[in-house]
């Protein structure tokens, strides 16, 4: 498929049959990064990345990949959830990946959503990313409103790790990860758009019709805070893996 042509950037778009195929292809690309003597992964949560994590576990069990020399930084965490809350992103990452591969738990980082001083936590998270040498490959999903991480529409392109309010659309979409009667937090701590753009490479995954409009706006629309994912047009090394449903509006 043709790369997205712009002034001084290129976004490589690959369209695959379905979500499982996106997961398998993403697994190949993440394994390439992991084959370096050491690597720093930027990780995401959400339904889109689950087939990728399942594929990585399968590959690891078959002896095909090791995380022994990797560190990871997740994009975001809910404010107010302790790491052992089942819907926290720390617990989610343990369940979906960390507990099943040979990554050193001490080198898996997520913002602490239950920190007493969240501003200090955000500053420390940025410092930890820098101390690790920056992120080699940042994995992203996309919200149906175009968010990346929890940078909702209106987030400045220059934003860094900070506390943000979640939109009702995002809280409703994510209520499926919470138990009956549980309330989705109203805030999260997220890497900012500028933080994300500092990753050396970016890998965005999008699956399902609900993402078709957002992906089209991100890749073909104007760059601006109405669609936070449009900021990817400013980065020089982005690969987008979309299934046919998510790619439907790419033309
Ligand atoms: C999660 C995150 C979010 C999700 C997005 C898509 O860490 O940062 O931006 O990637 O909300 O979520 P799913 O994949 O559940 O549709």
How many Å lie between the centroid of ligand 1 and the Cα of residue 251?
24
Q: Is 152 a catalytic residue?
A: yes
CA distance 91 to 88: 5
Kindly give the residue spans of alpha helices, DSSP state H, lying in the chain.
19-34, 50-61, 89-96, 118-131, 168-174, 193-197, 212-220
- Residues having CB closer than 6 A to ligand 1 are 44-48, 75-76, 141-143, 147-150
Q: Catalytic annotation on 76?
A: yes
CA distance 91 to 130: 24
pLDDT at position 136, please? 98
The predicted structure's pLDDT at residue 39: 98
CB 110, CB 91: distance < 8 Å = no
CATH for the stretch 24-243: 3.40.50.1360
Residues (pLDDT < 50) of the chain are 1-8
What is the pLDDT, as a whole number, of residue 147?
97
Ligand 1 centre to CA of 168 (Å) is 14
d(CA 187, CA 247): 30
Pocket of ligand 1, candidates 45, 166, 189: which has the most ligand atoms within 8 Å of its Cβ, to mutate? Answer: 45
* Phi, psi at 227, each rounded to 5°: -130, 95
Nearest CA to ligand 1 atom 4: 141
Alpha-carbon span 43 to 32, nearest angstrom: 15
The three-state secondary structure class of 113 is: coil
* Most informative mutation of 143, 175, 177, 214 for ligand 1 (most atoms within 8 A of CB): 143
pLDDT tens readout for residues 69-82: 999 999 999 999 99
Closest ligand 1 atom, CA of 177? 15
Look up residue 178 and give its DSSP letter.
S
Instruction: State the pLDDT at residue 9.
Output: 56
Atom of ligand 1 minimally distant from the CA of 148: 9
Q: Indicate if 145 belongs to the active site.
A: yes
Q: Is 219 left (phi over 0), alpha (psi -120 to 50) or beta?
A: alpha
Query: Cα(75) to centroid of ligand 1, in Å?
Result: 10
Point out the ligand 1 atom lying closest to the alpha carbon of residue 74: 7
d(CA 41, CA 199): 9
> Is 136 one of the catalytic residues?
no
d(CA 83, CA 77): 9
The whole-model pTM stands at: 0.96
């Amino acid at each position: 498929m043709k790369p997205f042509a712009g002034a001084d950037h290129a976004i490589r778009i690959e369209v695959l049959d379905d979500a499982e195929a996106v997961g398998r292809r993403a697994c190949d690309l993440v394994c390439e990064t992991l084959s370096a003597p050491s690597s720093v992964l930027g990780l995401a949560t959400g339904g889109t990345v689950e087939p990728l994590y399942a594929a990585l576990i399968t590959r690891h069990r078959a002896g095909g990949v090791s995380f022994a020399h990797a560190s990871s930084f997740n994009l975001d965490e809910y404010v107010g959830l302790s790491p052992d809350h089942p819907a926290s992103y720390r617990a989610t990452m343990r369940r979906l990946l960390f507990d099943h591969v040979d990554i050193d738990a001490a080198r898996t980082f997520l913002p602490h959503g239950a920190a007493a001083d969240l501003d200090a936590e955000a500053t420390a998270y940025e410092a930890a990313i820098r101390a690790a040498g920056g992120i080699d490959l940042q994995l992203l999903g996309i919200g149906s409103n175009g968010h990346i991480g929890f940078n909702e529409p209106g987030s400045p392109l220059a934003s860094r790790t900070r506390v943000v309010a979640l939109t009702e659309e995002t809280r409703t979409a994510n209520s499926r990860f919470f138990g009956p009667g549980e309330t989705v937090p109203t805030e999260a701590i997220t890497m900012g758009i500028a933080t994300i753009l500092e990753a050396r490479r970016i890998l965005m995954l999008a699956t399902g019709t609900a993402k078709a409009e957002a992906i089209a706006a991100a890749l073909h629309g104007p760059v601006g805070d109405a669609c936070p994912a449009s900021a990817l047009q400013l980065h020089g090394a982005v690969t987008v893996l979309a299934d046919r449903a998510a790619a439907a509006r790419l033309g």
